[in-house]
Amino acid sequence: MKRRIFLRTAVGALALAATGFHAPQILAAEKPFKVGMIVPMTGAFASTGRQLHSAAQAFMKEHGDTVAGRKIELILKDDGGNAANSRKLAQELIVNEKVDVIAGFGLTPITLAVAPVATESKTPMVLMAAQTQTNTEASPYIVRSSGTITQVTSGIAKWAVENDIKRAVTLVPDYAPGYESEEAFKKYFLASGGEILEEIRVPMRNPDFAPFLQRVRDIKPDALFVMLPAGPGAALLKQYGQRGLADAGIKLIGHGAITDDDVLNEAGDAALGVITSDYYATAHDSDMNRKFIELYKSVDPTSRPNFFGVAGYDGMKLIYEALKATDGKGQGMELVDAMKKLSFESPRGPVSVDPELRDFVQNIYMRKVEKVGNEYHNVEFDVIERVNALGEAK
């Protein structure tokens, strides 16, 4: 097991003390149990916030709003995807609203900005989205209900070398999650005898993929590995088809976000046949998942749940089960410790919390985009069972 290295932050206790910031007092059992959800409901990452909030509401609709005698209150705050806003909102929720848990967090910079607040106030922080592997190291109060980039990427890298893909080009965004995905792919691909012909990094904002894809076509690899956020991922799928890479025999493979279920229909036929790995697809074949989709659409009929949606749903499960395990009285590290012991069946399949990494051990599914009826779906065709946050099968 890799040694855990906790991140240090320049934000000190004196700054918090100056604002009268302190941990909330223990609440009596009859007092409401408050969950402060900080997510982007506006701006470029609004779809992430909508997924997380809708799924949390779906969970409460299914399981009620009372646990161990405590009324659950979900308090939504929109940070617009801005880390400074997120930190301020976290302080306000803890100091003024006296929340018991903070949850959400769509991006890694947001997670890192809020983590010191969670640590200083001893407030559990359920990370439902941001997938950079080291995020949980930012505070001992963080437990993550999504997955890590390394965990997800390991699946497609292992699949590639087992399916006669020997030569690849990588294309990732020029920021930390992109580098992490690139490194994870290279680790498994190179160790199995694969060759990386070129590493391409694209700007995060408004990238034009045409010149990069032309370079890939000229290089003629067996496959192009891509990790991109959902929005740019949809644009790349269209340009991949327009540039004729599929016709040239260059397979498109990648991290599951490039075929995000929430926007997959926008890509249309250009997405057909794309192979990705991830911990969830809307098309996952289980009764629990079908019920989850029905619940989610009863809250938000305009979209279908994606990997962040199921993470929001399971994040609420962590909170409910930890509160139940502490007879409604748990606070701070007591709640975190209760979360560390949990394992349960999720709409994504079986999950358990790794008590050291504070991340899910979960299945990683291989998926191929197919047209099902009038919609496009990530259809699962294989599974790597019980993968931890480091990409290791347990």
Q: How far apart are CA 361 and CA 343, in angstroms?
A: 9
Please indicate, yes or no, if residue 3 is contained in any of the structural domains: no
Q: What is the pLDDT of residue 39?
A: 98
Residues 132 and 177 in one domain: no
Q: What is the pLDDT of residue 29?
A: 57
The number of distinct structural domains making up the chain is 2
Please indicate, yes or no, if residue 379 is contained in any of the structural domains: yes
Residues 232 and 201 in one domain: yes
CA distances from 251 to 169, 256, 269, 271 (A): 11, 15, 15, 11
Q: What is the pLDDT of residue 30?
A: 75
Please indicate, yes or no, if residue 1 is contained in any of the structural domains: no
Please indicate, yes or no, if residue 6 is contained in any of the structural domains: no
CB contact set of 162 (below 8 Å; sequence gap of 6+): 192
* Under 8 Å between Cβ of 94 and 24: yes
pTM (predicted TM-score): 0.91
Strands 375-387 and 360-372: antiparallel
Please indicate, yes or no, if residue 216 is contained in any of the structural domains: yes
Please indicate, yes or no, if residue 121 is contained in any of the structural domains: yes
Residues 247 and 190 in one domain: yes
Residues 264 and 193 in one domain: yes
CB contact set of 96 (below 8 Å; sequence gap of 6+): none
Which secondary structure element, helix H or strand E, spans residue 167, and what is its range? strand 167-173
Residues 18 and 55 in one domain: yes
Residues 37 and 136 in one domain: yes
Q: Average pLDDT for consecutive 10-residue bins of the chain (394 residues)? A: 38 42 50 97 93 98 97 98 97 98 96 98 98 96 98 94 95 92 95 94 86 96 93 86 93 96 90 97 98 98 96 98 96 98 98 98 98 97 97 90
Strands (E), 9-149: 33-39, 66-67, 70-78, 101-104, 125-127, 142-144
Q: What angle do CA 305, 307, 310 make, to 5 degrees?
A: 65
Residues 221 and 324 in one domain: no
Domain that holds residue 264: 150-278+364-387
Residues 219 and 171 in one domain: yes
Please indicate, yes or no, if residue 393 is contained in any of the structural domains: no
Please indicate, yes or no, if residue 154 is contained in any of the structural domains: yes
| C-alpha dihedral sign at 319, 117, 355, 131 | positive
Residues 109 and 233 in one domain: no
Residues 71 and 192 in one domain: no
Residues 196 and 110 in one domain: no
| CATH number of residue 342's parent domain | 3.40.50.2300
Residues 250 and 115 in one domain: no
SS3 of 363, please? strand
